[in-house]
Structure 1
Amino acid sequence: MSETAPAVVRSAANPQFKALRLLAQDSTAWRKQGRVWLEGDHLCRAALARGVQPELAVYAEFCPAEHRLPAAKTLVLADPLFAAISALESPARMGFVIAVPPAPALDPQAPTVVLDRLQDAGNVGSILRSAAAFGFRQVVALKGSAALWSPKVLRAGMGAHFGLSLFDAADPGLLDALTVPLLTTSSHGGDLLHQARLPWPCAWVLGHEGQGVRAEVDARASLRVRIGQPGGEESLNVAAAAAICLHASAVSRSR
């Protein structure tokens, strides 16, 4: 027997559509619903590649059947409704709803990135991508940082979430469980990064875009470094600084 095609939702009053729109557009809805919205083929395939199974696959009506990915449940939205929930300039044709993964156990010896009150979702997502690319396995976002599972961070992370152990809204006391040395950056002092002997594994601490790493966290650092800036700028964007530092660790490890 052939599979019955899913019904197409055409009304904005539909309860499923309302819940999806909230999940896609409200940065706090994921906490209340216990699930997140992934929009676009790249994010959905990244989740599947890591063994994440969607609770619901959602397609725009114009998405061809041969482009649809396997899922236990499927919902089709009329094209204007899908466009209404999209946060992209050019709306994708598909999305997944997945359950928020349960909090993992902290690995005391894992290469780690610590985010200390980073506010910008784009910066946070970019740092997750760098962490995954350079061999860091877990990310601890301290309270006051942009929520790791918020829609904007998910989009900026481009699938990096699914290769990392993530700790959202963590208390600084969680850092006491790490046995790897903590490294912090500063534009004003510390060893030059390219001259420093970087330990591996380690935990890089990246601070607030304007205020840097708070004193309580900086006091835990085993090493403080600064990035040489011969061009004379006062400071780097935190996501750029993170990529430089994490790459330096990866290179140091390979040597």
Structure 2
Amino acid sequence: MNEPTQITSRDNPLLKRLRLLSQDSTAYRKQGQVWLEGDHLCRAMLARGQRPSTAVFTERCWSDSPHDLRDACEHRVVIPEALMAGLSGLESPAGMGFVWDLPAHPMLEPISATVVVDRLQDAGNVGSILRSAAAMGFGQVLALKGTAGLWSPKVLRAGMGAHFALRLVEGLAPDDLRALSVPMLVTSSHRGEFLHRSELPWPCAWVMGHEGQGVRPELEALASRSVRITQPGGEESLNVAAAAAICLHASAAARTLPL
């Protein structure tokens, strides 16, 4: 491969674009790219057979990085540590990152095991739910309008690489979910059958609602079942990411044959 390109000016067009991608939660929609900062996210992308369009390294990291990261793509850039710090969203800036071209807008898959996120605002909750979905065998996440951007920098970091194991479709309206062919299960803190007593269908679509308002009525009307989690300790409700992990694990356990 050719030697990497050296960039020393913060006004370089590539670095301007990366600062936008790293700091603006919606810039990925206009740019069609995401900035993946750090070894873990970059390796998660490579492990799923994806390749970056550009690889960016600090001068120090370039000399220390293994060949699988250095040779991940043809366009490689080396910058001073101070310029990488200006791109970073981390307290301790990483020494490298990838620019990845987002795939064409994916279509909803009607028969896939699915998680629907309805207007979730907290990026940490959304990223955590993506991790749980990937871990429990759910292949698709559908985000309704009003949900934090699935490819925003904070959701990417919270997802810890789960994005690359999932079909992600965002900007949907409630009526778009009528295309699903699998049973839809909505969560509630105060009504419906208890999760631990339920016979859960597979595949299915779990709907996780807004942190404060819960699942909107239009989705409850589309659902085949409402489910709640027993809370003997008496708390009013669970954090939505915790509730999602419990529900998705229950589905995964129900489809697993006993040892």
User: What TM-score do you get using the length of structure 1 for normalisation?
Assistant: 0.96
Question: Is the aligned partner of 1:168 residue 2:170?
Answer: yes
Secondary structure of 2:120 counterpart: coil
- For 1:5, give the aligned amino acid: E
Cα distance in 1 for residues equivalent to 2:212 and 2:249 = 23
**Is the 1:187–1:226 contact (alpha carbons within 8 Å) kept by the matching residues of 2?**
yes
- For 2:121, give the aligned amino acid: Q
Partner of 2:86: 84
**Is the 1:142–1:170 contact (alpha carbons within 8 Å) kept by the matching residues of 2?**
yes
Gaps of 5+ in 1: none
2:16 to 3, 15, 18: 18
Cα distance in 2 for residues equivalent to 1:158 and 1:28 = 19
Question: Is the aligned partner of 1:38 residue 2:36?
Answer: yes
- For 1:206, give the aligned amino acid: M
Which stretch shows the higher mean deviation, 65-74 or 153-162? 65-74
**Is the 1:61–1:77 contact (alpha carbons within 8 Å) kept by the matching residues of 2?**
yes
Partner of 1:222: 224
Question: Is the aligned partner of 1:153 residue 2:155?
Answer: yes
1:64 Cα shift?
Answer: 3.8
CA RMSD of aligned residues (A): 1.2
1:66 Cα shift?
Answer: 4.5
1:11 Cα shift?
Answer: 1.7
**Is the 2:130–2:141 contact (alpha carbons within 8 Å) kept by the matching residues of 1?**
yes
Partner of 1:7: 5
Secondary structure of 1:63 counterpart: helix
1:247 to 235, 249, 254: 249
- For 1:228, give the aligned amino acid: T
Please give the per-residue CA displacement for 1:190-210, whole angstroms capped at 9, x wherever unaligned: 111101111111000000000
1:7 Cα shift?
Answer: 3.4
Runs (4+) of structure 1 exceeding 4 A deviation are: none
1:52 Cα shift?
Answer: 1.0
Secondary structure of 1:72 counterpart: coil
1:4 Cα shift?
Answer: 4.8
**Is the 2:2–2:74 contact (alpha carbons within 8 Å) kept by the matching residues of 1?**
no
1:170-185 equivalent positions in 2, closer than 5 A: 170-185=172-187
Partner of 1:57: 55
Secondary structure of 1:148 counterpart: coil
Please give the per-residue CA displacement for 1:34-67, whole angstroms capped at 9, x wherever unaligned: 1000001011011011111101001111104341
Cα distance in 1 for residues equivalent to 2:35 and 2:29 = 12
1:103 to 102, 105, 114: 105
The number of residues matched between the two structures is: 253
Question: Is the aligned partner of 1:47 residue 2:16?
Answer: no
Question: Is the aligned partner of 1:191 residue 2:198?
Answer: no
Cα distance in 2 for residues equivalent to 1:133 and 1:33 = 29
**Is the 1:205–1:213 contact (alpha carbons within 8 Å) kept by the matching residues of 2?**
yes
Secondary structure of 2:141 counterpart: strand
Please give the per-residue CA displacement for 1:95-134, whole angstroms capped at 9, x wherever unaligned: 0000111122322111000011011111001000000000
Cα distance in 2 for residues equivalent to 1:150 and 1:4 = 32
